[in-house]
Amino acid sequence: QVAFQPELPTLESSRPTQPPASPLPSAAMAAVLRKAAVLGLALFASPSASLTFDSSDALAKNRPVSKVITLLKDMLKQLEKEAEEDEEIYDKMACWCETNDREKTKSIADAEAKIEMLTTKIEELTAMSARLNTEIKNHEKEVAENQAA
């Protein structure tokens, strides 16, 4: 039994003996390649480019660029969330500062008025104490004189 083996072309038989002639000279070819590269970069970098990656596509998730884009989107969401939290905290702090400022200002004004009143009261009572001490000395002299008489 002989197995049928079709004849396959070999690598050497399929390889051309000479490189194909370029339709453009090498300088013109380089210019065309540069223009193609610039066009390709412009399309890739353009925000309106029709090349988009579906985030649900498993192949797109494995690409490094997609991972970076996903990471940046997550960072943006986190940043927006923190900005909202910071704004709420700022609003609470601003409210507390305004309320606290009003309360403290009123408290300081009340305390200064009370200090002024108490200072006046201390002066009155000091004067009264001096007057009463003088009266006591005068009465003691009168008592001493009346007992001597």
What does each of the 149 residues of the chain score in pLDDT, given as a tens digit?
Answer: 555 555 555 544 445 555 455 444 566 656 666 666 655 555 555 555 444 555 555 555 678 888 889 999 999 999 999 999 999 988 888 888 888 888 999 999 999 999 999 999 999 999 999 999 999 999 999 999 999 87
Question: Would residue 4 be called left, alpha or beta, if left means φ above 0 and alpha means ψ between -120 and 50 degrees?
Answer: beta
Cα-based distances in Å from 112 to 30, 98, 105, 108, 116: 88, 21, 11, 6, 6
Instruction: List, for residues 22-50, the tens digit of each pLDDT value.
Output: 444 566 656 666 666 655 555 555 555 44
Cα(149)–Cα(146) distance, rounded to whole angstroms? 5
| Predicted TM-score (pTM) above 0.95 | no
Q: In degrees, to the nearest 5, what angle opens at C-alpha 129 toward C-alphas 127 and 134?
A: 95
